[in-house]
Amino acid sequence: MKEVVINDLPVTVQLDTTTGDFIPCAEKVVRNVSDLARMFSDQETVRQIVSLGDKLVYVIRYYPFFTSKSDMALGTTAILPGKVGDEYHMTKGHFHARDDQPEIYYCVQGEGFLQMESRAGDYHAVPWQAGTITHIPPQYAHRVINTGRTTLVFVASFHVAAGHEYELIEARGFKNIIIEHGGKAVEVPNPRRSI
């Protein structure tokens, strides 16, 4: 059980925008292809990668700011460049468990897309580059895709109580998938959604 440090004074952390590392860092989580096995379209390639020893896709770092009143948190995510089959490296994607919780995403390095989709299927894919900031409203699932040649790094700002719900994205994905075609990133309908 992690110790919760309550601090009602200002707190400053330093971000390395090239790696997503920030000091101090409270918690680090890595996600490999095996953790995203159900997210990628090309299941045969997923099986091959996992049987050959797996592959790192992204690293998440969290810093919660606990106060006696309300608790915001910072997260950074560093998505390595690469693909699984034709599909670019991406985050799992999730809804917030609480339906009243928005989030701000700020891209500090790299290029790609932020996909957002409501439960009813209202879908948006926003092109992303260093400096792009997006406000994700409550009840929109969110996923970032790295379509560039460098590590994509973004900062997330959210409330500690927001929580994560992965089930619906695991079951159906987003409306479109983003793949490399003819050397370019293109959006195509998600085969799992067109049945």
Q: Which does 115 bind (CB under 5 to 8 A by kind): ligand 6PG, Ni ion, none?
A: none
Report, in Å, the least distance between residue 61 CB and ligand 6PG.
9
**Secondary structure of 175-191 as H, E, C letters:** CEEEEEECCEEEEEECH
Pick from ligand 6PG, Ni ion, none: which does 93 bind, CB < 5 to 8 A by kind? ligand 6PG
Site string for Ni ion, 13-52 (x = CB under 5 A): ----------------------------------------
Check binding of 162 to ligand 6PG (CB under 6 A): yes
Q: Which of 102, 170, 106 is closest to 140 using CA atoms?
A: 102
Strands (E), the chain: 14-15, 22-23, 27-32, 56-65, 72-79, 83-84, 87-88, 103-109, 111-118, 123-129, 133-136, 140-146, 152-159, 176-181, 184-189
Footprint of ligand 6PG on this chain (CB under 6 A)? 31, 60, 75, 77, 91-94, 103, 142, 156, 158, 162, 164
Residues found near Ni ion in the complex (CB under 5 A): 103
